Structure 1
Amino acid sequence: MDTTNKLPLDMLYHWETAKADTLYMTQPVGNGKVVEYTWKRAVDEARRMASYLKSLNLPEKSRVGIISKNCAHWIMSDWAIWMAGHISVPLYPTLNADTVNYILSHSECEVLFVGKLDDWDMMKSGVPENVRCVSYPLSPPNDFETWDDIIGQFPPLEGNIRRDADELATIVYTSGSTGRPKGVMLSFGNMAFAAEGGMEVLKVGSGERMLSYLPLAHVFERTFVELASLYAGFQLYFAESLDTFVQDLQRAQPTLFLSVPRLWVKFQHGVLQKLPKEKLDKLLRIPLLNRVIKKKVLKGLGLDKVKLAGSGSAPLSHDVLDWYRNLGLELLEGYGMSENFAYSHMNKPGRSRTGYVGEALPGVEVKISDEGEILVKSPATMMGYYKDEEKTRETFTDDGFLKTGDKGEVDEQGRLKITGRIKEIFKTSKGKYIAPAPIENRLMSHEAIEMVCVSGANQTQPHALVMLAEEIRPKLADEAYRREIEESFKQLITDVNKTVDPHEQLAFIIVVSDEWSIENSFLTPTLKLKRNVVEDAYQEQIESWYAKRQPVIWQ
């Protein structure tokens, strides 16, 4: 089907009739049970919820929030909000009460859909009293009006309500590694352009299957899962919980699979726990056996049907990329921001280059500024920041290019390499500048390391703070094992220091005992490291660490 100039709601009405009885969403509801939604059922429930929203007589284009882990109702709520003439405001399901309050107050939300959440008790005090709440079937206990009661009482909204391309569709509050989140305003036209372009490049059809589990509040999942399924008409499955993730994957048998670096590393660690790297490498070198082993490993991960696997939101280490490619899974890295609805660059199958995030997607213009900053422009670029004209002005060049804040370079085939964040680059006491990201990528090749932060502003040489992988930490009680890890880290420093310039060579590695998590604010909701929080947490110990002059220090 030609989707050119079709907006999200147009696509919805198309599938409502063209694939009325085709299965669209499969939602686990506990105890191995699932609820299935055909296109007709999903759109009918959304139309009924839109009738309810209309009945509230809210001001035109009111903001309506969604706070929930991914589920079928999240997507139906988004549609209902649009059909009712309003603007959706997604909130991450891991936010604290203070941030919930800031977003709902700043966006002046009138209604909030409260869904599947692990820690609603922590969040609920952040919801202003004047906000009307609606509860999903999988919500924590509450006394709000319920989705099922509402759709039982209200008739479906009649007719096909249309919205204009330049109308505001959603305000996405960036997870921000520093400061208050900013409200990125995205139009229906921005969304349509990104979804169409992504499908064109990936050659996605209606026969695909995807598991939706990265937060839908993030543009990466919203573009390539919610919107892509709307434009291609393919099937979506949801994950029940972290504990059932493997079963959820095996139920979905996805043909397309997206993840973020931290999870790709976790999957790899899980495999290497059962089958050590040396043994796996040896088996993969045996001609007749290697295909069987590759299939077995991918089947164990639930990824044996995947024809296209992607990684985004942060760089993935070369070693991890190569490891998956050796298994026959070509991981394609992409690059985008909330400000361009995750639509900027992507590696293409057969044309990817390790260490690069790929070529500009159709319709994207890119240039590198004199300072080395990546500047991009496309019809997917945001309308601006909500209620912040000054910040909007600062974020664009005079000729309308979006300043990404990332430093980069482009190779002869037009593939982009991210060389660091402009704001993350720090200066040593010798006056030399260091971009931490490339060094961090090299350190991440060590299988015991889950997260790393290279720092050292105003010191003679940089250092690295590392958090060990979850399955490694309990083994440290064994003194011999701990010594083995320490020796391997000494070797890692030697190996990394051979590949970098003298001023970038690491003085030491600190093995932290803390857990860096979303809950203690070390990570953003998309699992990116909040560099300033990590650095502040260890600031008082830095001088004593440098004074020790040891290659590996246990915190």
Structure 2
Amino acid sequence: MSRYASRSTLVHCLLHWAETSPNAVYLTQPNADGSSYDITWGQAADHARRLASHLRALNLGEGASVGLLGRNSAHWIIADVAVWLAGHVTVPLYPTLNGESAAYILDHAGCKAVILGKMDGIADGWKDIEPHLPSLPMLSLPLSPRSDVPQYDDIIANTAPISDEDLTLPAEGAMATIVYTSGSTGRPKGVMHSFGTMCSVANALRDTYKVNRDDRMLSYLPLAHVAERAVVETASLYFGFRVFFADGLETFQRDLQRAQPTIFFSVPRLWTKFYLAINEKLPPAKQRILFNIPLLNRLVKGKVLKQLGLDKVRLAITASAPLPPNIMQWYRGLGLELLDVYGMTENFGYSHGSRPGEVRVGYVGHANPGVEQRIAENGEVQVKSPGQMMGYYQAPDKTAEDMTDDGYLKTGDRGEIDAEGRLKITGRVKELFKTSKGKYVAPVPIEQKLNVHQKVEVICVTGPTQPQPFALFMLSLDAEKEIKNGELTRETLTREFNELLKSVNATLEDHERLDYIVVVKDQWTIENGYLTPTMKIKRNVIEDNYIGHADTWVARRESVIWE
């Protein structure tokens, strides 16, 4: 029996699989030329031990914070475990951060060293971050932009691994990581998690979703966020399944086909992109005809899933924001039962999840095993979870503010629970805005109703201080390209948006009805600060930029306005 069979921490997990299945492939890393290479469990553990030896030799002090900055790669996960093997705490940083935010996090967390991973300054914020990096000991993983610091391959080749005699395994209650919130409002907060809270997610994945060693996943959402870290890193280390990585957006489809995932985790924006891409190639009207022909039905749906690279998926997960019900139903019609899950950085994503066969569209599902839920008097969802944080780093007052006296986390989300115990998120407590008529408007449900047009990628409903709310539409890059090439006209979109406005307004209360739609000229991106790293809109940033134009737009008395 393995000495690490308890799998009580992720360090135990890696060592367990390295001891029991050293030659089984754990990680598959792509190269830019389309090739890839495999790393076995035995190699991953050996490399982590050698990196840990290097980190120990730096004499950073017991339990020091170590920054981990880079895009997803096999070596990101190896480095994460290496930090723990060395007796330190990992502080992951989003690769799309701006320089000021990166410097703030490294300083606030008291980082004593930085591990720099895959970065290029094109698909990430390296060019802005580099000048802000403090003078700290640094080491470079493969695909790092720095060649003037100790390199991963050299460390692996020339450093002896930590021996079993020198190995001190972490306790479940010890701090493992400080995860900084994506900062949709204000400065990011450092959320402290123990090794035990990180492993808590395994309960639901095992009991509810039957995750096992035969599963496969593709990692492409930021590992610096708890969602990918829980569903991909934690789950793969705990259950021992294989992980593939995406090289970049341009190779995503190729990487997905290579992985043939059995579990696929994504966010609404990407699920929507897949949906729109299929609709471009196979228009909805044609889909309805083909899907209703008995002999062709299964064949066509199978081809659609295969084209998406999802034909082997048995567990499809969506999270971070609501997905429009019509898109959820479309995937269900293809035979892919999308399961909505819900969680926060503060409980390591371990809160709620839809169960197979018990999905109610629009709901994020039942409380996970061991999770307690309730709705406060103001409609706020409050949760007590095995994944609950240790608190906010260096912010005891903020920790006390966000927790109830009896140990529940105040999520900041408004919600309701149905008779079967399933939770529906209806918006943010602080997202409600008041019009100049004194009426409160909840933007999220309206945004969900609007989010059905194939040419619109992101929507924000707003209107504080205005007589009526209005909507901001950001077109997809494909739509902008079609307009530029003359394949699509503004007149056509104006007509379609007018129809959409009328149909949605017909379903709303008087005070909720949208006065007009504005098609914005700029793309909202993570890099320019309009979206969080998990691609949620930063409502306050968007409102600060656009609300000042509202009086001018109202005066135009047009239903659809092009900025």
Corresponding position of 1:504: 512
Q: Give the match for residue 74 of structure 1.
A: 76
- Deviation at 1:281? 2.1
Structure 2: stretches of 5+ with no match in the other structure? none
Matched residues in 2 for 1:511 and 1:537: separation?
14
**Bigger mean CA deviation after superposition, 9-18 or 305-314:** 9-18
Deviation at 1:200, TM superposition (A): 2.1
Residue 50 of structure 1: aligned partner: 52
Aligned counterpart, 1:122: 128
Q: Tell me the matched-pair count.
A: 554
Contact 1:187-1:382 at 8 Å conserved across structures: yes
Shift in CA distance, 48/496, structure 1 to aligned 2, threshold 3 Å:
same
| Alignment partners' CA distance in 2, 1:534 and 1:353 | 31
Task: Specify the alignment match of 1:157 in structure 2.
Answer: 162
Residue 32 of structure 1: aligned partner: 34
Match of 2:193 in 1: 186
Name the CA distance, whole Å, in 1 between partners of 2:244 and 2:356. 25
Which residue of the partner structure matches residue 536 of structure 1? 544
After TM superposition, the score normalised by the length of structure 1 is: 0.98
Deviation at 1:5, TM superposition (A): 6.9
CA distance in 1, matches of 2:407, 2:159: 45
Contact kept? 1:269, 1:447, Cα under 8 Å: yes
Q: Contact (CA 8 Å) 1:196, 1:231: kept in 2 or not?
A: no
Aligned AA (2:557): R
Asked if 1:253 corresponds to 2:260, the answer is yes
Listed as ranges, the matches of 1:83-482 within 5 Å are: 83-119=85-121, 120-129=126-135, 131-159=136-164, 160-477=167-484, 478=486, 481-482=489-490
Deviation of 1:303 after TM superposition, in Å, equals 0.6
SS at match of 1:320: helix
- What displacement does 1:95 show? 0.8
Please list the CA deviations of residues 81-120 of structure 1 after superposition, one character each: whole Å capped at 9, or x if unmatched: 0011000000001111101100111111111111111312
2:525 corresponds in structure 1 to 517
Moved more, 451-460 or 158-167: 158-167
User: Is contact 1:439–1:454 with CA below 8 Å preserved after alignment?
Assistant: yes
Partners of 1:466 and 1:519 lie apart in 2 by 19
Judge which range, 199-208 or 41-50, deviates more.
199-208
Q: Secondary structure at the match of 2:423?
A: strand
Amino acid at match of 2:110: E
SS for the counterpart of 1:343 is coil
Q: Distance in 1 between matches of 2:246 and 2:61?
A: 35
Report how far residue 30 of structure 1 moved. Answer: 2.2
Deviations 1:219-258 (A, max 9, x none): 0000010000011100000011111100000000000000
Structure 2 CA distance, aligned partners of 1:550 and 1:32? Answer: 50
The Cα of 1:479 is off from its aligned counterpart by 8.9
Conserved 8 A contact 1:318-1:445: no
Instruction: Provide the alpha-carbon RMSD of the alignment.
Output: 1.4
Three-state SS of the structure 1 residue aligned to 2:477 is: coil
Match of 1:22 in 2: 24
> What is the Cα deviation at residue 540 of structure 1?
2.5
Aligned AA (1:526) = T
State the alpha-carbon separation in 1 of the partners of residues 267 and 369 from structure 2: 23
AA of the residue aligned to 1:529: I
Cα distance change, pair 549–140 in 1 and its aligned pair in 2 (3 A):
same
Deviations 1:404-455 (A, max 9, x none): 0000000001110001001111011221111100100111122221100000
1 CA distance for matches of 2:127 and 2:157? Answer: 28
Task: Give the Å deviation of 1:138.
Answer: 1.2
Cα-to-partner distance string for 1:241-290 (whole Å, 9 max, x where unaligned): 11110000000000000001111111112212212222122211211111
For the residues of structure 2 that align with 1:3 and 1:184, how far apart are their CA atoms?
Answer: 28
Q: Secondary structure at the match of 1:237?
A: strand
Change (3 A) 1:79 1:6: same
> CA offset at residue 141 of structure 1?
4.3
1:379–1:4 Cα change, 3 Å: farther
Greater shift after overlay, 245-254 or 320-329?
A: 320-329
**SS in structure 2 at match of 1:145:** coil
* TM-score where L is the length of structure 2: 0.96
- CA distance in 1 between counterparts of 2:137 and 2:481 reads 46
**Quick check: 9-18 or 479-488, which moved more?**
479-488
Q: Which residue of 2 aligns with 1:554?
A: 562
Instruction: Report what 1:11 is aligned to.
Output: 13
SS in 1 for 2:249: coil
**In structure 2, how many angstroms separate the alpha carbons of the residues matched to 1:542 and 1:369?**
35
Query: Percent identity over the alignment?
Result: 52
Cα distance in 1, alignment partners of residues 7 and 13 from structure 2: 10
| Alpha carbons 2:6, 2:12 under 8 Å: kept | no
What is the CA distance between 1:475 and its match in structure 2? 2.3
